Amino acid sequence: MKVFAAGAVLLATAFIGQTVSAKTLEDVLKEKGVITEADYKEVTKVKPIDYKLGKGFTFTSADEKFQLSLGGRMQFRYTFTDYDSDWSPSKGDASQWNAQRIRLVLGGYAYTKDLTYKMEIDPRQLAQSSSDSTRGGLLDAFLNYKFMDEVQLLAGQTKVKYGYSMIQSDAQLMFVDRAPLIAKMTPSYEIGAFVYGNLFKGLMDYAVSTTNGDGQTNAASTNRNAIAARVQFSPLGKMANDEPDLAISKKPLFTIGANYFYTALGAGENSSTYGTTFNPPATPAGVKNELQNYGVDGHFKWMGLALQGEGLFTQSNPNANRKTVNTVGYYGQAGYMITPKIGVAFRYSVFDPNRDVSNDLQTEQIGAVSYYFDKHNLKLQADVANLHTQVTTGGSYDDMQYRVQAQLIF
C-alpha cells in the first residue's frame, strides 16, 4: 500500500509538472500584441477571488482594505538508512515513508497593506503531545506592521533570526533537508517581539528580537527572556535567500551575515532539538543553563552556481558547578543548475558537541540532485549521504542514508 501511495505521488508530480507552467489568456494576448500594457494591467488588476501557484487562493474586499490568501505545502519523503553493521550488528536497516511536512498557510493584510498577518499550521502535528517540540503544529502566527522599509514591527510567533540555514525556508533547499547540525545548534520558532528592516535600498538587513526562549508555542512562567540580533550585507544588490540559483543570475550576487543569540534555560524548559541538545531533560532541577550563541555565514550566486557556508559556536555555562562546554558546528555546500530545471549539489558538515572531548565528531558528506518542474512550487529531490559518527570510547561508524522527496506548494 505504501509503495502504491508513493508511486501515485510521483505520478501526480510528473503530471502536474506538465501543467503548472501554463500561461493565462491575458499573458498570451499581451505577448502577441493583441492588447496593450495598459489593457493588460486593467484586466489583471486585483480580483475579488484569484489564484496564484505558490500563494494559493486570494480573497480581496471590494475596497481593497482586506485580503486573505489561503494556500499550503506538502512534502512526501522516503528514507532508507543502511546502518553500519560492523558497529551495531543488532541494529537493522530502516525503510520509512513519511509525510514530512504538511502545511496550511493563511496570510494577508487588514485595514491597510502595512498591517499584515500570517498563520501557518501543520495538521500532521495537531495530535502530538503538548510536551513535544512541535507543540501542536502551530508555526508562524503573527501580526506585522510596516512603518517603512527600514523599520517593521512583528508580534507573535515566528523564527528567531539566528542561523542562516534555519532562517531559510525548508521549502527552498538544494537538498532534501538541512544539515543535521542546524536543528541542534539553532533555535527555531519563538514567541515574542521582533524589529527588523532593510537599509540602503536592501544592501543591509537587520533584525533584533526578545522572545520567551522556550521554543515553539511555549511560554514558560519564568522571568528569563532570550535576545537575538542579526545583520546581513548584500554589497552587489539584494539576493533571494533560497539555496539554489534558480534565476541563473546574470551578475554575481552575495551576502555575508553575522548573528547572536542568548538564552537561559531551566531543567527541561525547552523541548526543541536545540533545547534538548544543550539542556536535556536529565538536567538537575534548579540548574539554569546560560547559552551564548554566535554565527557567521556567506552565500554566493552567479550563472547557476550557488555557494553557501556557515559557522556556529555555542558556549554552555551552567550555574551548578558544571564545566563550561564549547560546541562548534559548520558546513559548506555548492550547487549548480545544469539546466533551468536540473540542479546538483554537494555538502560537507561537521558537528563537534564538546571541544574538550576527543573522538565525538559527527560529520555528513552528501550529494543531491533536484528536478524543478516549476521552481520550488513543484520539485522532486533525491540525496545520498554518508553519516560518520565517532565514539568517545573508541572507533567510529558510517551509516548510509538515501532519501527521495516530492514537494508541492499550492
pLDDT tens profile 161-215: 999 999 999 999 999 999 999 999 999 999 999 999 999 988 999 999 999 988 8
CA 39 to chain centre: 39
Q: What's the confidence (pLDDT) of residue 3?
A: 37
Report the number of distinct structural domains present in the chain.
Answer: 2
First-last CA distance in the chain: 26
Q: In percent, how much of the chain has pLDDT > 70?
A: 85
Strand ranges (DSSP E) for 288-341? 289-302, 305-318, 325-337
- How sure is the predictor about 45, in pLDDT bands with cuts at 50, 70 and 90? low
Identify whether residues 84 and 65 lie together within a single domain: yes
Identify whether residues 160 and 292 lie together within a single domain: yes
For Cα atoms 84, 90, 92, give the angle at the middle one, nearest 5 degrees.
60
Q: Residue by residue, what is the 3-state secondary structure of 204-253?
A: EEEEEEEECCCCCCCCCCCCCCEEEEEEEECCCCCCCCCCCCCCCCCCCE
Which H or E run contains 2?
Answer: helix 2-17
Query: What is the widest separation between alpha-carbon atoms in the chain?
Result: 78
Identify whether residues 7 and 135 lie together within a single domain: no
Identify whether residues 35 and 147 lie together within a single domain: no
Q: What's the confidence (pLDDT) of residue 86?
A: 66
Hey, how many other C-beta atoms are within 10 angstroms of the C-beta on 206? 17
- Are the CB atoms for 319 and 290 separated by under 8 Å? yes
Identify whether residues 52 and 38 lie together within a single domain: no
Q: State the CATH number of the domain containing residue 126.
A: 2.40.160.10
Identify whether residues 13 and 52 lie together within a single domain: no
Q: Can you give the pTM of this predicted structure?
A: 0.84
**C-alpha distance from residue 240 to each of 163, 186, 237, 276, 306 (Å):** 16, 21, 10, 32, 11
Q: What's the DSSP call for residue 32?
A: T
Question: Is the pLDDT at 354 greater than 60, yes or no?
Answer: yes
Short-list 272, 337, 250, 327, CA closest to 294: 327
Gyration radius of the chain over CA positions: 23
- How sure is the predictor about 12, in pLDDT bands with cuts at 50, 70 and 90? very low
pLDDT tens profile 107-124: 999 999 999 999 999 987
Task: Calculate the average pLDDT of the chain.
Answer: 87
Which whole number is the average pLDDT over 65-72?
96
Residue 327, classed as helix, strand or coil, is strand
Short-list 267, 277, 204, CA closest to 236: 204
Identify whether residues 278 and 357 lie together within a single domain: yes
- Are the CB atoms for 293 and 260 separated by under 8 Å? yes
pLDDT tens profile 231-255: 999 999 999 999 999 999 999 999 9
Distance CA 153, CA 77 (A): 36
Distance CA 94, CA 108 (A): 42
Identify whether residues 355 and 249 lie together within a single domain: yes
Which domain, by its residues, includes 115? Answer: 46-409
Q: Give residue for cell 508580534.
A: 155
Short-list 129, 126, 135, CA closest to 157: 135
Helices (H) then strands (E): counts for the chain:
6, 18
C-alpha grid cell, residue 316: 554552555
Identify whether residues 299 and 190 lie together within a single domain: yes
Q: What's the confidence (pLDDT) of residue 15?
A: 36
Look up residue 389 and give its amino acid.
T
Identify whether residues 83 and 70 lie together within a single domain: yes
**C-alpha distance from residue 39 to each of 22, 43, 46 (Å):** 21, 6, 14
Identify whether residues 176 and 242 lie together within a single domain: yes
Helices (H), 18-120: 25-31, 37-43
Identify whether residues 278 and 146 lie together within a single domain: yes
